[in-house]
Amino acid sequence: MGDLRRLVGIYEADGGLVGEARYAIRKLTGRGHCSLCEVTHRGVTSKLEWRSMCEGLPVPFELVHLNERSPAILEASEGATPCVLADVDGELVLILGRDALDRCGGDVGKFADALRTALSGRGIAMP
C-alpha cells in the first residue's frame, strides 16, 4: 500500500466537560459505552499500558472525540465510531471498527495484536 504516517482513534463520545459527563451517564446507566475508551482509559486517566504501547509505535497515535474530528476524519469515520483509522500517504483508511474494538475487551495487549493484524492484512507496514 503506502507509507503509514499516523494512526487516529475516534471515541464514541464528545469531548469537553458536557460530552464527558454525557458519556459517564450513558455508561453508568447501561445505555452505551465506547470500546476504544475502555482500551485507552481506566476511570478518568489513561492506562499506563496504553501510554507504553503508543510510545513504542513508530508513528503518532492521535485520539479524538466526535466533536473534535477534522472534516477528513469525519468523512472517514462517519457512522463507524468508535474506530481506528490509518493515515496512509494522506488517505484515511478504516483499520479497526466497533466489532474489532469490542473484541479487545479493554485489553491493551489484545488491541495491539488486533492493530498489527489489521495493518498487515491491508498490506500496511509500520515504518
**pLDDT tens readout for residues 70-111:** 999 999 999 999 999 999 999 999 999 999 999 999 999 999
Percentages helix, strand, coil for the chain, rounded to the nearest 5? Answer: 45, 20, 35
4-121 CATH, one of 3.40.50, 2.40.160, 3.40.30, 2.30.30: 3.40.30
**pLDDT tens readout for residues 21-74:** 565 556 656 676 789 989 998 877 889 999 999 999 999 999 999 999 999 999
pTM summary value: 0.88
Give the span between the Cα atoms of 38 and 46, in whole angstroms. Answer: 10
